[in-house]
Amino acid sequence: MLDTSITMNPDVAPQQIIKTVQLAEALNIDSCYIADQGFTLDLYVTLTAVACNTKRIRLGPGVTHPYTRHPVVTAVSIASLDQFSGGRAFLGIGAGGSRSLVPMQIARSKPVQMARETVEIARLLWKGEPVTYAGEFYKLAEARIGFPCRKDIEIHWAARGPKMLELGGALADVNLLHAIPRFELANVVATVRRGAEKAGRTTKLQYAAMLVYDDASRAIARARTVYRLVDSSDEVKAKLGLTAEKLAEMRRLVTTSGPNSAAFLVSDEILSHYVIEGDAADCAGQIRQLIADHGLTGITVEVPDPANAEKLLSFAADVLSRL
Amino acid sequence: MTTTADTIILGDWVWAGPGRLIENAAVAVRSGVVLEVGPQTALLPKYEGAKKLGGDGRFVLPGMISTHTHFFQTFLKGVGQGLPLRPWIQKVTSPASITMNEREAYLSAAIGIIDAIRSGTTAIFEFSYAFPNPGIFNAIVQAYMDLGVRGWLGIGMNDDGAEHGLNPALIQPLEKIPSLLDQITDSVQKQGNGLVYPALAPSSIRGMSKKAIPVISEYARSKGLIFSLHVNEITIDNEVAQAKFGMPLIPALADHGALSERFLAVHCVRMTAEDITTLASYGAGVSHNPVSNMYLGSGVAPITEMMKAGIPLSLGVDGAASNNSQDMIETLKFAVLGQRAALRDPACIQAEDALRMATEGGARVLQADGWLGRLEPGYKADVTVFNFNSAKSVPVFDPIATTVFNSGEENVETVVVDGKVILEGGKLVTIDEEKLLQEARSAAVELIRRANIQVR
Of A220, A252, A264, the CB nearest to B450: A220
Residues of chain B with C-beta less than 8 angstroms from the C-beta of A307: 449
Integer CA distances (angstroms), B171 to B68, B79, B98, in order: 22, 24, 11
Contact assignment for B168 to A219 by CB distance below 8 Å: no
Considering chain A, what is the average pLDDT of its residues? 95
Q: What are phi and psi of A244, to 5 degrees?
A: -60, -35
Say which CATH topology domain B64-365 has.
TIM Barrel (3.20.20)
B168 to chain A, any CB pair closer than 8 A? The answer is yes
Over residues A211-219, mean pLDDT: 94
pTM: 0.89
Secondary structure in 3-state letters for B43-104:
HHHHCCCCEEEECCCEEEEECEEEEEECHHHHHHCCCCCCCCHHHHHHHHHHHHHHHCCHHH
Give the max Cα distance, chain B.
69
CA A270 remoteness from chain centre: 21
C-alpha count within 13 angstroms, C-beta hemisphere, residue B452: 14
Residue of chain B whose alpha carbon sits nearest to that of A11: B452
Quick: pLDDT tens for A239-248.
999 999 999 9
Quick: pLDDT tens for B51-102.
999 999 999 999 999 999 999 999 999 998 888 878 888 899 999 999 999 9
Q: What is the pLDDT of residue A98?
A: 75
Distance in Å, alpha carbon of B165 to nearest chain A alpha carbon: 12
Residues of chain B with C-beta less than 8 angstroms from the C-beta of A251: none
Q: What is the pLDDT of residue B1?
A: 43
Residue of chain A whose alpha carbon sits nearest to that of B134: A264
Distance in Å, alpha carbon of A242 to nearest chain B alpha carbon: 16
Q: pLDDT confidence of A40, banded at 50, 70, 90? A: very high
Over residues A221-240, mean pLDDT: 92
Q: Are B128 and B155 in contact (CB under 8 A)?
A: yes
Q: Is the dihedral of CA A295, A299, A304, A310 positive or negative?
A: positive
Contact assignment for B450 to A216 by CB distance below 8 Å: yes
Over residues A215-225, mean pLDDT: 94
Distance in Å, alpha carbon of A218 to nearest chain B alpha carbon: 11
**Sites in chain B below the pLDDT cut of 50:** 1
CATH number for region B7-62+383-417: 2.30.40.10
Distance in Å, alpha carbon of A216 to nearest chain B alpha carbon: 6
Contact assignment for A257 to B135 by CB distance below 8 Å: no
Quick: pLDDT tens for A62-88.
999 999 999 999 999 999 999 999 999
For chain A, give the percent of residues with pLDDT over 70.
100
Residue of chain A whose alpha carbon sits nearest to that of B167: A257
CB neighbours of B426 closer than 8 A, spacing ≥ 6? B410, B412, B413
A262 to chain B, any CB pair closer than 8 A? The answer is yes
Gap between the Cα atoms of A121 and A129, Å rounded: 11
Boundaries of every domain in chain A: 3-213+278-321, 217-276
A264 to chain B, any CB pair closer than 8 A? The answer is yes
A105 to chain B, any CB pair closer than 8 A? The answer is no
Residues of chain B with C-beta less than 8 angstroms from the C-beta of A265: 133
CATH number for region A3-213+278-321: 3.20.20.30
Q: What is the pLDDT of residue B2?
A: 57
Contact assignment for A262 to B132 by CB distance below 8 Å: yes
Q: What is the pLDDT of residue B83?
A: 85
DSSP A153: P
